Chains A and B, each alone.
Chain A
Amino acid sequence: MKVVLKHLTKQFPGPNKKTPGTIAVNDFDFEIPDGKLVGLLGPSGCGKSTTLNLISGLETPTSGQVFFGDDDMTKVPVENRGVGLVFQNYALYPHLTVEENIIFPLQNLKGEQKLTKEQMKEKALEVAKLVQIEKYMERKPKALSGGQQQRVAIARALVKMPKVLLLDEPLSNLDARLRLQTREELRRIQKETGITTIFVTHDQEEAMSICDLMVVMKAGIVNQIGRPQDIYDDPINLFVAQFLGTPPINVFTGRVENGKVIVNGDDVFDAPGVPDQDIYLAVRPEGFIPNGTRFRYMRERREIMGRDVSIIFTHENALNPNNRAIVSAEENIPEQPGEAFFDLKPAKTFLFSRETEERIRF
């Protein structure tokens, strides 16, 4: 089932009549293709959870529409939308066993859809097997680990075969190791069921690793939509460039003059055809060629991590005190601090207008 959001806007009322409300989601316009795994990504407070709630129906939009397939769902109450929702804290009913939790949505079915006890148990076992939790059916949620609780929450959301599966920060309560494992699981479950899945996260690595499509949001506004790698390789503004990628992108202030990027007096990069203006020069950590000639920097130290070497360096024009370049371990990088030069890889180097922070293409 594809999900279409048309000019979706949500404004929360202010504390009193004089103060204007907060616009949590501003003119969200997007079509989520059928059967895809889509990540809503952004820093906290950017409106991604609100967007999820607008899709689920827990919130009603101030304006705009939500479609599932060709059906307008905007006015349909949450219980009739047929969505499965996994909460950040899982919201498993603590007084019910795993099986009772999974069956709970089925017991709400009325009329023709009504199932017998055996059918319910059968269905519950089916999804429990899918998320590999069938061994713990008799346990209470308290007796499960975070990862297992998460699976139960997913099973509960899946059991009634929702048209759309929504996940709110599904991995944030798990430790690093479990997170890796669970995100692969999520991907597998989504592939096996083929249910259109939308999940919210503030962790760009998580989003990049499993999404078919990624939506980067900031302050209620959609900044960029696309395949994770495409967004990473081709960010449309400074925010998106900075938000994606670990270690983060290195940003320097500079100026374009006569088709050359001047940083701290040095001509560091060619930007043919770009009008003269103040700019941000942003370089991915893997965008530096060591032992170059144009980009002068102060090496602080090097960190050898197996096949890579990180060069931690400072620069007068850098936005952050510490910058990081990642190069192959085969390169000969001196250990002691000192001045040296990089060259910049064009594909990993972006220019952004200082004024608008929009990408300058050339």
Chain B
Amino acid sequence: MKNSNLKPWLYLLPAIIFLVLFMVYPLVDVFIYSAEEEYNSASQTYSGIGTYNFSYVLHAPFFLQALKNTFILVIITVPLSTGIALLISLGLNSITKLKDFFQTTFFLPYVTNTLAVGLVFMILFKKTAYSEGMINLLINAFGGKSVDFIDGPYWAKMFVLCFYTIWIVLPFKILILTSALASVNQDYYNAAKVDGTGRFRIFTKITLPMISPMLFYLVITGFIGAFKAYSDSVALFGTDLNAAGMNTIVGYVYDMLYGDSGGYPSYASAAAVILFAIVLTITCINLMVSKKHVHYT
């Protein structure tokens, strides 16, 4: 009896050791750091326990900027990328010719390095003293005025960042949604057709509920992924994101640890905990909404 109780734990031991060491311990540590006031990493001392770190972070202009950027990014890219991916998947699902070709094309961004994509976007959008950049040439051709998307006004930079993020996350979503659509039993569609159901009604009443678990999965991971955005911003605007005004929460955490203004693990931890709280809240809201609209079969 005793033996049979020990055995499963023995099997789990390697995984547990690694998880505790590299996941649980750091996680707990972050919470501890975030509460330790005036922590000094060199001497490993602190003056007291309290909420000062949070209050500092929440009053720091760079953090507030990062918070704003992250929220704009999330609110724009998650619904748009999911919606566009759904449209493309529906299209892919209804063609037979060149389907494989398009599927491969849409998947290419997924296997492309983020920084390489960033470089391509720079070429497309950057305006220098010598060249206008592809997009500006297009704008000019339609009679518009050139915009500096990389070093220019805030909305232009935000536009590029959102555009870039959507483009980068699309392939995975298309992949998931095309397979979700393909796995819907054709009999449901036939049954609906026999009953004279219109195309739009088939989409809203059958297709959407049928793929709702996958859509929900994409929305949840999409939210979490967008809240954790950092590398995309770096790829476009370089490492000094605060100067560019395009920092994100994760970028702020990084800066507080290792950046030029770094060396403050307490502030970094406090920012990380705030991000954690935000993601947790959003995910809980998602779960609550999903109860009504997601149908598992």
Contacts and interface: CB of A to CB of B under 8 A. Distances in A.
B297 A95 contact: yes
A40 interface: no
Contact of A94 (B192, B194, B201, B297): B297
Contacts of A85: 190-191, 194
Interface string A75-86: 000111001110
Given A79-B197, A95-B297, 10 more contacts: A78-B193, A79-B196, A84-B194, A91-B185, A95-B210, A104-B195, A104-B205, A108-B195, A142-B297, A156-B191
B190 A87 contact: yes
A6 B137 CA distance: 65
Contact of A91 (B187, B196, B212): B187
B203 interface: no
B188 interface: yes
Interface of B: 185, 187-188, 190-198, 201, 205-206, 209-210, 212, 295, 297
A30 interface: no
Nearest to B188: A91
A148 interface: no
Contacts of A107: 201
Given A91-B187, A94-B295, A95-B295, A83 B196 contact: no
Contacts of A89: 185, 187
A105 interface: yes
B194 to A, nearest CB: 5
B19 to A, nearest CB: 36
Contact of A93 (B188, B194, B196): B188
Nearest to B187: A91
Contacts of A91: 185, 187-188, 190-191
A105 B188 contact: no
A129 to B, nearest CB: 21
Contacts of B190: 58, 85, 87, 91
Interface in A102-127: 104-105, 107-109
A87 B191 contact: yes
Contacts of B185: 89, 91
A108 B187 contact: no
Nearest to A159: B195
A95 B213 CA distance: 12
A58 B194 contact: yes
Q: How large is the interface on A (under 10, 10 to 19, 20 to 34, 35 or more residues)?
A: 20 to 34
Interface of A: 56-58, 78-80, 83-85, 87, 89, 91, 93-95, 104-105, 107-109, 142, 156, 160
Contact of A79 (B188, B193, B209, B212): B193
Nearest to A83: B194
10 contacts: A56-B194, A78-B194, A79-B194, A85-B190, A85-B194, A91-B185, A91-B188, A91-B191, A95-B209, A108-B197
Nearest to A53: B190
Contacts of B198: 108
Nearest to B191: A91
For A58, A80, A91, A142, the residue with the greatest tally of chain B CB atoms inside 10 Å of its CB is: A91
A89 B193 CA distance: 16
The 8 closest A-B pairs by CB, nearest first: A79-B196, A95-B295, A105-B195, A91-B187, A91-B191, A95-B209, A94-B297, A108-B196
Contacts of A84: 194
A108 B187 CA distance: 18
Contacts of B195: 79, 104-105, 108, 156, 160
A87 B192 CA distance: 11
A41 B297 CA distance: 33
Contacts of A104: 192, 195, 197, 205
A108 B201 contact: yes
Contacts of B191: 85, 87, 91, 93, 156
B212 to A, nearest CB: 8
Given A89-B187, A93-B206, A108-B201, A80 B194 contact: no
A324 to B, nearest CB: 39
Given A94-B295, A108-B201, A142-B297, A58 B193 contact: yes
Contacts of A94: 295, 297
B193 to A, nearest CB: 5
Contacts of B187: 87, 89, 91
For B187, B191, B196, B295, the residue with the greatest tally of chain A CB atoms inside 10 Å of its CB is: B191
A41 to B, nearest CB: 22
A156 B196 CA distance: 13
Contact of A105 (B196, B209, B212, B295): B196
Contacts of A95: 209-210, 212, 295, 297
B288 to A, nearest CB: 18
Nearest to B193: A78
Nearest to A84: B194
A30 to B, nearest CB: 22
B295 to A, nearest CB: 4
A56 B209 CA distance: 26
